[in-house]
């Protein structure tokens, strides 16, 4: 946890520098003479994009905000479970579906936020799993405060 007091920056460089609080160096400034020795075979024939381009997940990673409109799949499923419990509870003699998740709290706050889940479902799942943090849809200031800043 940071206070307003500036912490000294650890300098983990091969060549120590006289870094100040705001002007530190993480790396040595000298040109490295070490070249990678990795030999890759076979040579890919396709152009390899930078990591930020090629390593995207196969599913949609849009913000929770956009995804909230997409109620489906697991969300519907869990809603079905909930409804099912209620209906079967009423029927009584036919038995009850027990749907219990392990509720141990995670030592680290977990946040649920994904595509395909309704708001209710996301929060219900988060609670069921003992999640501490929840990320709401991203807040776009220019959309909320139209024409406030030019």
Partner 1 sequence: MKLINIPFQYLSESQFARKRGLEVVEVIEIGKRIALSDENLEKYAWQLTQVIKQTQPTIIAIERKETSGLTTPWTNAEYLKLLETGKKVATGLGVKLTNGGIDGDELIVFFANFLKLSDREKYQNLIAKLDINRKLFLTNIKYSIKVKLIEQKLHEFLKIYKKVGIDFLNVNWNYANPEVLFEVLNFIKNLTGMEIISTEFIKPYDKDISKKLLETVNRLKLKCVIYYFGIESLLGEELVNKLGKFTKKAEQLKSFIWWHYNKKPRVSSIFTEKAENDENG
Identify which of residues 90 and 145 has a Cβ nearer to partner 1 in the complex. 145
Burial pattern 53-85, b for ≥16 Cβ within 10 A else e, equals eeeeeeeeeeebeebbeeeeeebeebeeeeeee
Q: CB-based contacts of 90: which residues, under 8 Å, 6+ apart?
A: none
- Length of the chain, in residues: 150
| Per-residue interface string for the shown chain with partner 1, residues 76-115, x marking contact by CB under 8 A | xxx-xx--x---x-----xxxxxxxxx-x-xxxxxxxxxx
Residue that is written with structure tokens 């076979």 in the block:
42
Closest CA to 64 of 130, 143, 134, 145: 134
Q: Minimum distance between the CB of residue 69 and partner 1, rounded to whole angstroms? A: 9
Q: Minimum distance between the CB of residue 64 and partner 1, rounded to whole angstroms? A: 8
Identify which of residues 4 and 18 has a Cβ nearer to partner 1 in the complex. 4
Q: According to CB under 8 A, which one of 34, 45, 90, 92 is a site residue for partner 1? A: 34
18 lies in the binding site for partner 1 (CB under 8 A)? no
Q: Minimum distance between the CB of residue 61 and partner 1, rounded to whole angstroms? A: 6
């Amino acid at each position: 946890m940071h206070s307003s007091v500036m912490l000294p920056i650890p300098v983990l460089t091969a060549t120590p520098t006289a870094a100040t609080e705001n002007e530190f160096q993480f790396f040595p400034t000298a040109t490295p003479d070490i070249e990678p020795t990795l030999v890759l075979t076979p040579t890919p024939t396709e152009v390899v994009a930078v990591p930020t381009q090629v390593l995207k997940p196969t599913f949609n990673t849009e913000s929770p905000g956009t995804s909230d409109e997409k109620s489906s799949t697991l969300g519907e499923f869990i809603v079905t479970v909930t409804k099912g419990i209620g209906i079967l509870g009423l029927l009584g003699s036919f038995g009850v579906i027990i749907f219990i998740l392990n509720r141990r709290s995670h030592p680290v706050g977990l946040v649920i936020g994904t595509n395909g889940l309704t708001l209710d479902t996301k929060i219900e799942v988060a609670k069921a799993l003992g999640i501490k943090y929840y990320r709401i849809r991203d807040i776009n200031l220019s959309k909320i405060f139209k024409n406030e800043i030019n």
